């Protein structure tokens, strides 16, 4: 049983923070709420710079969940693959503009029909 004056164990990140909801400056419009979170406690809680975060929003409650290592690795792989695909598409588009009337590749359906 816990001592009468003991406190529960907490990790380095602490368990509670108090913030004030501000507004996002946009000339005279102050109607867009704005919350900024920053501090080394975020890293201690598993939120490192450059990592993906899932945000769940409910009435009166916002939950932030950092991607685990596997999810982050998959996200990074996806971004690299998407960038490579964009490069390939751009290269194909450039070739197509250089040879507008020429068909560059035959599809399998066309090859099999002959």
Please write the tens of the pLDDT for every residue from 69-81.
898 899 899 999 9
Contact 73, 45 (CB under 8 A): no
Q: Kindly report the pTM of this predicted structure.
A: 0.51
The average pLDDT across 62-75 equals 90
Q: Domain ranges in the chain? A: 22-66, 67-100
Closest CA to 77 of 52, 94, 95, 57: 52
Please write the tens of the pLDDT for every residue from 6-23.
555 555 556 788 888 888
Please write the tens of the pLDDT for every residue from 21-31.
888 887 777 78
């Amino acid at each position: 049983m816990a001592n009468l004056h003991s406190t529960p164990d907490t990790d380095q990140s602490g368990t509670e923070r108090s913030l004030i909801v501000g507004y996002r400056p946009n000339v005279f419009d102050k109607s867009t709420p704005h919350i900024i979170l920053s501090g080394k406690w975020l890293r201690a809680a598993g939120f490192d710079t450059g990592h993906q975060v899932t945000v769940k929003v409910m009435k009166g409650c916002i939950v932030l969940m950092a991607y685990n290592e596997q999810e982050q690795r998959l996200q990074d792989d996806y971004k690299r693959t998407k960038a490579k695909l964009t490069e390939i598409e751009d290269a194909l588009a450039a070739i197509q503009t250089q040879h507008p009337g020429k068909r560059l590749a035959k599809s399998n359906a066309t090859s099999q029909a002959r």
